[in-house]
Structure 1
Amino acid sequence: MELLHHAAQVLADIPNPTPSAPPGSGGLMKILGWAAWVVFGLAVLGVMMVAGKMMIDQKAGHGGGQHAQSLAMVLTGCIIASVASGIVGGIVTAAGGMA
């Protein structure tokens, strides 16, 4: 029990600095913003393309089921893009870095 108390005290003494952007990082943030805009624009386009393919196949008398996998892949990409910073932050934190 004393070992746990000692370990908790050691962990409490470790500094946890707040991450902050370095000077001059405004340009990088602008590029990341543009990249996010492009990625999410492509995601919307991907969903619309899959929907169009499903409608064409349905009109032609085919089922639209084969496009469900395409839609799942597009939506999975959307989810990954949406949580990209959280994923990277979690990996950096787990590796012992700051995030």
Structure 2
Amino acid sequence: MSSLLLAVHDTYGTVLAQVRNPSPQAPPGSEKFMQLVGYLTWFVLLSGICGIVYAGGKFAWEKWSGGGLESPKMVAGAMIGGVVATSAGTIMTALIGS
């Protein structure tokens, strides 16, 4: 059994050693898609800024009126979401990357 596994390992090792590692390239016509991704990134950043401004205003209102404080969670959520959104490319490169 071990000799069979060794033979399979050698065969696949030889085959995989002959496969080259291609460098990633954008497919033809991907300029419009990349423009859409840029627009979506801009919208996510704008949404995060609006969320932080809204949560800041709500925080001031809650402090002034003496109500419960929910807005610090909103600020933290918007900031964490912004960090993840702006570093999405870096995260994907780290997970998939070469």
Q: Give yes or no for TM over 0.5.
A: yes
CA distance in 1, matches of 2:82, 2:75: 10
Name the counterpart of 1:3: none
**TM-score in terms of structure 1 length:** 0.69
CA distance in 2, matches of 1:44, 1:83: 16
1:69-98 Cα offsets, whole Å, 9 max, x none, are: 1111111100000110111222223xxxxx
Q: Which runs of 4+ in 1 moved over 6 A?
A: none
Corresponding pairs, count: 83
Root-mean-square deviation over aligned CA pairs: 2.5
Unaligned runs of 5+ in 1: 1-13, 94-98
What is the aligned-residue identity percentage?
Answer: 28
Specify the structure having the higher radius of gyration (Cα).
Answer: 2
Equivalent position amino acid for 2:71 in 1: H
CA distance in 2, matches of 1:21, 1:70: 37
Give the CA deviation at 1:37.
Answer: 1.0
Give the CA deviation at 1:21.
Answer: 1.4
